[in-house]
Chain A
Amino acid sequence: MSISAPRGLASSGQKPITEILHPLSAAEEPLSPGPDVTVSGGRDKEVGLTNGTPVETPSPASASVLFNRLQLDDDLDSDGRDPYADTETHDLFVTVDDPKKHVSTMETYITYRVSTKTTRIEFDLPDYSVRRRYQDFDWLRTKLEDSQPTHLIPPLPEKFVMKGVVDRFSEEFVETRMKALDKFLKRVADHPVLSFNPHLNAFLSAKDLNKRQGLALLSKVGESVKNVAGGYKLRVRPPEFCAMGEYLDTFNQKLGTIDRIAQRILKEQSEYLTELREYGTVYASWAGSEEELQRPLEGVAGCVTTCCGALEDMSENMGQDFLPVLREYILYIESMKNVLRKRDQSQAEYEGRLEAAVLRKQEDRTPIPAEVEKCQDKMECFNADLKADWERWQSNKRQDFKQLLTGMADKNVTHYEKCQAAWESLITLLQDKQTEDKTSETN
């Protein structure tokens, strides 16, 4: 896995799209990402050799390399570009893994290992390893929302699953959920404010999580009672927050559409797969009637079967990697919208109190009470936190989606690689026989 010329790929140079040959319009043309870019055409082939061969069509091996390289470049770039990158904490690392099933007389449930490595002084030890179940994550999130109402708390995977529709203990489900929990915790740990929250500390380090305040059976977005300021109505939402709101609505809609399309694709692919399987078996049965053609036909049947397998894998990946991330972002959007609403409330409260105080001042010259100023502080704090979180969220979102789309593309490429390899080996088989025939004919 090596790229022959370690020069920057097109992502760091500015390459206009038009110069990239469209592969579907140029039938057999090789892909040429740019004159100053060389892509390794495989382990042994080097591009632009002294024998003057032109840039080769990149072989499948280079596709994954390309993706990794792009990701790396991007990470390096983004650190430079992202003003909030510096505020990311790099002294607290958390991982969620190792799911285990626990069976007791009352219930059956899964726990996950939560490992922590840190240099922070807020923690007594540099390493921790505890076991937590979903309920515990839920508790943590609620606590974070309550104690940090001005911040955006990352979402958890869906809490409720329909028993009978989804198997809560299937490998797939557990795997998907665990990945989402891992992401949740990582996002919290990376947050400059949330990561210092004492509840997080307890979650990561305590042997037994003493959820003193009990399992608050709040809704998954954790709308806490004390944050709803009584009766104040917001008049005008400032334009920057309006823009946020609009963005969230549209983004939500688009994600929903993408989710639906993805599900439809899965369905179509599954129907295609059914037909394709049958198609392969007909070749196998034809092989039975033939002599010379028996092996070639069996070869074709084998090829088709391989392609079916590859397609199955790809569909599985889509279900496990792509869809959950989409859904997670939809939940994230909900959270964000709620924070916006809370911000609105705090502005409403401030404006309401201020108005009342101004009226009273006009009447009997009472000075503006300290509460009003506290409200103002609260509101401005909220606004600042929200703006900061918004930028972080946008930045993370870009990263996540790039990764998501690249990941999907990678899986797709792998799928076609497998199919291509199967057919290529079939041609070798078929043409070998031809060579045999030819030599025996000319003899």
Chain B
Amino acid sequence: MADSVSREEVAVISNTDITSTESENNIINTMVERGTALLRKLEINVAEAEKRTGKNTVNMQETYTVYLIEIRPAETEGGTPAAPDTLWRRYSEFELLRTYLLVTYPYIIIPPLPEKRAEFVWHKLSADNLDPDFVERRRVGLENFLLRVASHPVLSNDKIFFLFLTEEKGWRDAVLETGFQDKADSRLKSLSAMFRVKNPDKRFTALKQYSDELNSVISQLLRIRARVADRLYGVYKVHGNYGRVFSEWSAIEKEMGDGLQSAGHHMDTYAASIDDILEEEEHFADQLKEYLFYTDAVRSVCRKHELIQYELEMAAQDLAQKKQQKEELATGTVRIFSLKGMTSKLFGQESPEQKESRLAALEQSIQEGEETVKEKNTECQEFVRAAWDDIEHFKEQRDKDLREALISYAIMQISMCKKVWTFILVCILCMYINS
């Protein structure tokens, strides 16, 4: 298996003529190659999209899109590919799945979904969710999401994920039964809470900073790219005006007439070609967007770590305080101000029995506190270990994916250049032939 894969990838390197779709497929191949147990069993793809109308929760008619998920058992040697199991899912169900994963695996950078609404749009591209091009790009994004989860060493083993792929009707109930909704609310609260950690983990701080930078730079890039697309569109479309005037001019020429006519015709075609060019560029924008959304996931892992760290610190602080109190109580010195201490000073020392019972209570509290700290410590260490594992994996994936995306983008630019100057050649040839 490994051999065949590396041979495939060698072919990719020497072939500079691969199309950008082929390059995209290479990313998918890389994911699949990761060989999780799930992917060894199944082939997953989001094959189609379809419009549906139905009544929503407030009993109003709405139009929405559903996506067809196809599951096929992985190809067996020499066997004919079996018919796929299929089910339909809409975007909101994907969202539900993702929220479940976010809550259940807070130490994992959960792959993002394609955007809910079209953003960073250049003016001609529709911002309409029902636009077929948008739907198509979303279909690709959803497939990507499923494959990323399926190729993740931890997430791929999740039962709910498996049910999402296999149980059309019963899945929603299964998800809700896990009770993740409660955790979801507390998670949201914790993400927006303001607190300060005394000993921040340098690695996580650096990661959060990087993630913020990446978010900012990709946003900027997408914004400007949209503006560039707008401008390029303008340039092409104005060239289209040549089409008409060349046609009109050809009418008054005897010998140059045919040549000008076909030149004009080619101008029109040239102007029209911009739509496809920019549509193809959206692929690249989608790849960037994926990583833009990834930064949110990274950020929330960092925040979760901060929260755990904070809770640990609070527990440790609490324990230390209690220990201090016990010491004071035992030795009779008051170093820390406490109401009890003050009242006893004012109203006289308490009885030895009272002191004993208070000591016992404190002792109990301290033991519980120590348990808590131990737990929190373990939790924190586990979190750090698991998270950092995933972060390394994420970094590798990011480098590979973005490199592929850049290659794919460059290939697209080359193909566009070739098309255009080949086109110009044809244009001129026509002129000469017909005059």
Interface residues of A (CB under 8 A from B): 10-11, 14-15, 17, 20-24, 27-28, 31, 33, 57-58, 60, 63, 66-67, 70, 73-74, 247, 250-251, 254, 257-258, 261, 264-265, 268-269, 271-272, 275-276, 278-279, 282-283, 285-286, 289, 292-293, 296-297, 299-300, 303, 398, 401-402, 405-406, 409, 412-413, 416-417, 419-420, 423-424, 426-427, 430-431, 433-435, 438, 442
Contact = CB atoms under 8 A, between A and B. Distances in A.
A413 B424 CA distance: 7
A398 B269 CA distance: 24
Interface string B401-427: 011001101110111011111111111
B6 A427 contact: no
Interface string B255-270: 1100000110000011
Contact of B413 (A257, A402, A423): A423
Interface string B304-324: 000000000000000000000
A272 B225 CA distance: 11
B217 interface: yes
A292 B399 contact: yes
A57 B418 contact: yes
9 contacts: A11-B433, A17-B262, A24-B270, A28-B415, A265-B235, A272-B235, A278-B224, A289-B217, A293-B398
A300 B406 contact: yes
B228 A279 contact: yes
A285 B425 CA distance: 38
Q: List the 9 shortest-distance A-B pairs measured between CB atoms, nearest first.
A: A272-B231, A420-B417, A23-B422, A416-B421, A11-B432, A416-B417, A254-B249, A292-B399, A413-B421
B421 A60 contact: yes
Contacts of A67: 428
Nearest to A265: B238
B13 A435 contact: yes
A297 B431 CA distance: 42
Given A31-B426, A405-B428, A442-B6, A15 B433 contact: yes
Contacts of A28: 17, 19, 415
Interface residues of B, number: 68
A21 B276 CA distance: 19
B252 A250 contact: yes
B9 interface: yes
Contact of B221 (A282, A426, A427): A282
A438 B234 contact: no
A23 B426 contact: yes
A426 B410 contact: yes
Given A293-B399, A423-B410, A431-B407, A416 B432 contact: no
A24 B424 contact: no
A33 B429 contact: yes
Interface stretch (B88-96, B160-168, B184-192, B240-248): B240-248
A123 to B, nearest CB: 36
A406 B428 contact: yes
A10 B429 contact: yes
Nearest to A401: B256
B213 interface: yes
A271 B234 contact: yes
A302 B393 CA distance: 29
B221 to A, nearest CB: 5
A10 B256 contact: no
Contact of B428 (A27, A293, A409): A409
B435 A289 contact: no
Contacts of B239: 265
Contacts of A70: 428-429, 432
B72 interface: no
Nearest to A419: B417
Given A17-B434, A261-B245, A417 B231 contact: no
Given A250-B252, A264-B238, A278-B224, A430 B426 contact: no
B220 interface: yes
Given A268-B238, A303-B410, A416-B421, A283 B221 contact: yes
A286 B403 contact: no
Contacts of A27: 419
Contacts of A409: 424-425, 427-428
Given A272-B235, A282-B224, 12 more contacts: A10-B432, A17-B430, A31-B425, A31-B426, A70-B432, A264-B238, A276-B231, A285-B217, A296-B406, A402-B431, A416-B424, A420-B421
